Every structure is written in structure tokens, then in C-alpha cells.
Amino acid sequence: MNLAKIGGSLAGKILYVDLALKIIRIEKTEKYAQRFLGGRAINSFILCSEIDKIQKETGNKVKWDNPKNPLIFGVGCLVGTLMPATNRVSIDSINAFNNGKGSANIGGFWGPELKYAGYDHVVIVGKSPTPVYISINDDKIEINDASHLWGKWTSETEKLIKQALGDNMIQIMSIGPAGENLVRGAAIISGPGKSASGSGVGCIMGSKNLKAIAVRGHGAISVADPARFMEIVDNILTNIKKSPYLQSWKKGIIKGKYMPESPVWNCLASYKNGQDDFVPLEKRKLLVGEKTGITSYNKKMMACHLCPAGCMPILEIDQGPFKGTKCPNYWINSTTYSTKLGLFDPETSIRFHYMCNQLGIDGDMCSNTLAWAFECFEKGLITREDSGGIDLHWGNKESILILQKQMAHREGLGALLAEGVSEASKRLGKGSDGFAIHMKGQDTVDPYRIIKGWGFGLSVSPIGGKHLRGAVSTPDVTGPPDVEWNPTDYKNVPEIVYWQAIVKEIEDIIGNCIYVGTWSGIHALTVEIYAEILSASLGLNLNESSLMIFGRRSLNLEKAFNTMNTDFSREDDYPPLRYMLEPVKSGPFAGHKCDKGEWDTMLDRYYELQGWNKATGLQTRVCLTQLGLEDIAEMMPEEKRINHNNKMEIDFIDSNRIDPFRESPMRSGGTK
């Protein structure tokens, strides 16, 4: 394939840092951009390639704690431009829960700063013998001692690094005690309050003795066709301003949710470790009521880089035991952390979220694992003797915060909980695996039973258990803007989830915030608009159809990595067992559960749409070939290279004309 040079909004360089050998090298982004554009797609290809090399050298599958396992930061290819709400970074590595594809995503200001420093990606390999942090200041790259930072909270780490480097404009990603102590669900935090959660990316960072990455850039990002680019930007801003949802986002997304007038939204809250998917109204009001709930602590709203919505609340507690707590970015998920634990005290809920960020731990994993422990206590499987005298009754405020801290430091019962529910339930035994809620080994905090597209999206994602990777809620908020469906019905769910999963890959390639994009109800951005602005910024000739190819290619890279490094199959795309066996107990949707027969029908259709083998859930060679991923097919184990091509799969692929080698969407043009 003729590799046309891509100009415009790419910074142009990939930074490689070997912490063991203290080697730093630079590679050109252009090498990968033609096939993958940027962001997570390039991350995924580099991960596949690097792990394939190690496997060929050793003959063994690579585990997450292997020092050679790369930790890759990829900034979206439009980040750093004036495209509204583009600021996001994809972080990819081996998943600390299951050795499959690990992935997290984060907004804020770190990504644009890296682009201004001249880099699209940072690839970190090796393990430093002592704690270090990386400083990136344009072309000046340093590996600095971080022994004095080890054990510090993330906010203190940021403060001390800025003081040491003498620049308050530096943007920092760091881990807290959870990452240092290799808690499986450790997160990477960037202030104020932005968390890259999922897959244990903070655990991977801690395994390398890497405390932080500090970035300062003084460059600029240009685009290939400035006049056309700004015309599209103006249209996007107009669309955003017209959205009926915009003002509610500016006031805080929690406001108005989980109230009686929102019956379907009320079902996106798991109660007491998923024993029910309906939270009693009187309890719900305690947590999110407008006058006495979470929003009453809201002091102001903030925004990520260039975001016109500004949906990040800053909560502050003025009195009581948590006086002085300033908690940024308390989100809808944070209310689910509380309902999962039977916790309906707003101040404790705020403090729990705040401490997740300070300790550097994924709130999904922390709350889910604690909820499992509380149910074990309820059922007599964990005793006071096991817990060190801690009372694990539902909603116990003191116990929740004590166990959260123990988990981050691997102390007491927290040492078991730090492994996540899949591994913890294996170690405890006693039938506790029946209510250990996880997908593909990774903790999941979400409900599955009522909103069918939500549960299905959580299940079929290559990452597993993370709702931003294809889950859909209601037609006015998620999924294709021109398709109607009933959220509590199975009809058309595979088609909608298929679309949403691919579009999310596109948004993470671009670095655009999904909340302003296709998943928020604002619907200010469409795939067609993404194609137009990418063409103007990078110097391409894309349309909606050809851009969807890049999304499919990115998703199939993640799927392929799982095939390379795990034994995942169709069986791993079923929801947690509890949600198939136990129906919802109360509320307007009592009786709903995940029906296995319906699930099988949905899986068949979803695999058909993807061009995957229906019996195994694995990719077919024709699918990978038509997506231009023959080299990835060759990386798979011989027994998993599916050469069977039935007519359904060929017809589906041909009907979309997605042979990138025959009809390349690229053209030359644009300079940086």
C-alpha cells in the first residue's frame, strides 16, 4: 500500500522510554497513521506487535506483570486543535485482571500538552529498579528519582513535581498508593479529578516503578485545510448550542437523574451488589435529591480542554467530619458506587469518590469488590474475625472508608479485596463466586438486566464490563440518532450496540469526548461530521462509510489481542451469572433478567455483523483480511486462525466494500 504522508494535526512523533535500560528513542507517527489514524487504534497495533515479538522470543503468553509489557499513552489525532471537546487520551496495555486487552481513557489537559510537546504517543517498557517519574519538556526527556513521592496521594504528587520543575503549567498523570501496591484496579489520575480507570492501568504503571509522567509543551498543532476546518468547527459549536441537553450538562448531569420522573434512568443503579436493579425512591432521594443530595454540595462547574459543555462538578463539604473535602468530577458512576454498597449518605459518598482519586483506584472496582465482601458478610462467608473486627453491614459509612484504605495499601482484608472479585472469590471459595460480579475477570459495577443494550454492550466489549465501550441506554441519549428502539426490549440491540462500539473506537481515535459526541443526548457530532473534520485536519478524503472502516479496524485489533493472549471465547460474552439466574426483585421492571436464549440470538447476530465466527465468537480470516489486518491474523495462535469463510460473512463484508487496499480513503495533502 502506498503510504501517503498525512499532514495536519498529528504532532508527528512517538516517544519510547525503556525504564530498565534508561533508553529513550523516537519514531515517526506517520508509520502507523495511514492504517490507524491515531489514538487507541495506534496504541492497539503497537501493543499487538510488541507482545507478538515477546511471545516469539519466549514461546509463552505474556502476563501483565512482565516488565516488557508496554504501557502506551495515545493522544487522539485531533487533540491540540480547535475541535471542540477533543482532549482525550487512550491508555493501553495488558489487562491486569485477565491478561487480555487492557484499556482506559481520560480527558482533562494532559493530552493537549503532550501534543504541544511534539508527541502523539508515549510507549513505556521495562521496570525501573527504583521509583521514578518521567519529565517531558518538548525535546528534553528526563527520568527523575521519585523515591520521595512514593506513598504520596496523587494531588500531593502533582504539587511536589510542579514545585520541583518550577512550572505550574505542567500537566501530570500519576498513580497513588493503590498503583504502588499493585492493586488490580489501580487507576491513573490527572488533576483535577480525572481518572483513567479500568484494566488496572495504574497497576501496570506501578509494576514499572513509575510514579508519574509530567508534560510541558510549547509548540502548536496545525491543520491541513484551516479554512474548511474552522467552518466545520463553527457548525459544530452551533449544533452544540442548539442541543436541548446542553444546559443540563452545564448544571451537572446528576441533577434530575434517578428521580421518579426518570423511570428508565432509575434502572441504571445496581443495588446491594446487584441483588436488585431498583433503588427505593426514599433512599434514592437521600443521595441525589436536589435540596439535600449530592448536587447541594456543588460549588461550581469546570470543563476539560476546549469543552463547551463543562460537565465537571466541584463538590465541597463545609462542615462535619469531612470538612474541607473538595471533590472534583463526581459523576453518575459515583452514585452507583454508593447504591452498590447500600450507602445513601451524600457526604460519605463524596468522600469515597474523593479518596478513590487520591489513592489512585478505580471506583468501579473498589465499590464492586467491597459490595461482594459486604454480601459475603451478610451470608456468613466472611466473619468479624476475617475482617479484623470491621462491621460489614450494608451502608456502614466507617467500614466502607476503612476497607477502601486497606485495599489501596493491601492491609488486612484489603489484601484479598485488592485482587478484584474474580480472584478474591476463588481464594475465599464457599460459593462466593456466584455473586462475584465481573466480566472477563474484570469487576463491573453496572446493572445488566433491565436496559438490554446496556448489559449487552458491557458483555461483548473486548475490554468487558465498561459501559463506554458500546453500551446503549435510551434512544434519546445513546446509539444511532435516527434509530428508535425500546430500551427494555431485545429487538435491534445487536445492531445498535455494533454501531455504538465502532463509533466509540472512532471517538477515541480522534480524542473526542463521547459525552459531547454520540453518547450524551447532545448528538452534536455524527460520524459524517467526524469524517469531514478529519479530512480537513489531516488532509484526507474520508466519508462516513470509510471512517467506519477505521473504527472496525480498531475494534478488531482489540478483539485480536484477546485471541493472542487469552482463551476468551463465546462463553465470555455472557453476562454475570447472577443477572441470568436472578430477576429484578422490585420496581416497575420487576421480573426482568438476562434471558440466555435471547442472549444467544443477540450474540449470533452481533457476530454476524462483525463478520466473526458464530460458534466460537472468534474472528475469521476473511474479516481480518478485508480490514487490512493480515499481519494481525498471522500473530494469532495457529489453532485460532479461523479459515472457515461462510457465505454470510463474505456477503456482509463485500456489501460494505471495505477493502482498504483496493479503495484507500487516503489522499496526499496538508503539511504540519
Q: How many CB atoms lie within 10 A of CB 61?
A: 16
**341/417 same-domain check:** yes
Q: How far is CA 360 from CA 185, 188, 324, in A?
A: 9, 6, 20
The per-residue pLDDT of the chain, averaged, comes to 90
**428/501 same-domain check:** no
- For 446-455, 582-591, 663-672, which range has the lowest pLDDT when averaged over its residues? 663-672
Q: How confident is the model at residue 21 (pLDDT cuts 50, 70, 90)?
A: very high
| 259 located within any domain | no
| 633 located within any domain | yes
**321/467 same-domain check:** no
**294/195 same-domain check:** no
- The HSE-up count of residue 183 (CA atoms within 13 Å, CB side) is 36
Q: How confident is the model at residue 656 (pLDDT cuts 50, 70, 90)?
A: very low
Distance of CA 68 to the CA centre of its chain: 23
Mean pLDDT over 164-178 rounds to 98
Q: How far is CA 543 from CA 508, 527, 535, 538, in A?
A: 18, 8, 9, 13
290 and 255 Cβ atoms separated by less than 8 Å = yes
**584/604 same-domain check:** yes
Model pLDDT, residue 257? 52
Tell me the CATH number at 578.
1.10.599.10
Model pLDDT, residue 134? 98
| 3 located within any domain | no
Q: Is the dihedral of CA 438, 439, 444, 450 positive or negative?
A: negative
**Domain end marker among 394, 410, 443:** 443
According to DSSP, the residues that pair with 121 across neighbouring strands are 14, 74
| E-assigned strand segments in 329-447 | 438-439, 442-443
DSSP label of 640:
G
100 and 566 Cβ atoms separated by less than 8 Å = yes
Model pLDDT, residue 41? 98
Model pLDDT, residue 663? 34
Q: What is the CA radius of gyration of the chain?
A: 23
**Domain that includes residue 212, residue range:** 13-216
Tell me the CATH number at 270.
1.10.569.10
Integer Cα distance of 289 and 344 in angstroms: 11
| 291 located within any domain | yes
478 and 500 Cβ atoms separated by less than 8 Å = yes
Mean pLDDT over 459-484 rounds to 88
Q: Is the dihedral of CA 642, 645, 646, 649 positive or negative?
A: positive
Task: Report the relative pairing of strands 140-145 and 71-75 from DSSP bridges.
Answer: unpaired
pLDDT in tens, 405-439: 999 999 999 999 999 999 999 999 999 999 999 99
pTM, to two decimals: 0.94
| 622 located within any domain | yes
Model pLDDT, residue 6? 54
**Domain end marker among 150, 183, 216:** 216
Mean pLDDT over 563-573 rounds to 96
| 377 located within any domain | yes
Q: How confident is the model at residue 307 (pLDDT cuts 50, 70, 90)?
A: very high
Model pLDDT, residue 638? 75
Model pLDDT, residue 647? 36
**544/638 same-domain check:** yes
**461/422 same-domain check:** no
For 606, the 3-state DSSP assignment is helix
**197/340 same-domain check:** no
**Domain end marker among 156, 188, 216:** 216
Integer Cα distance of 497 and 480 in angstroms: 9
| 168 located within any domain | yes
User: Which cell goes with 424?
Assistant: 478474591
Mean pLDDT over 568-593 rounds to 96
pLDDT in tens, 181-226: 999 999 999 988 999 999 999 999 999 999 999 999 999 999 999 9
**423/279 same-domain check:** yes
**25/172 same-domain check:** yes
Model pLDDT, residue 217? 98
**531/502 same-domain check:** yes
Specify the number of domains making up the chain: 3
| 611 located within any domain | yes
**598/465 same-domain check:** yes
Tell me the CATH number at 40.
3.60.9.10
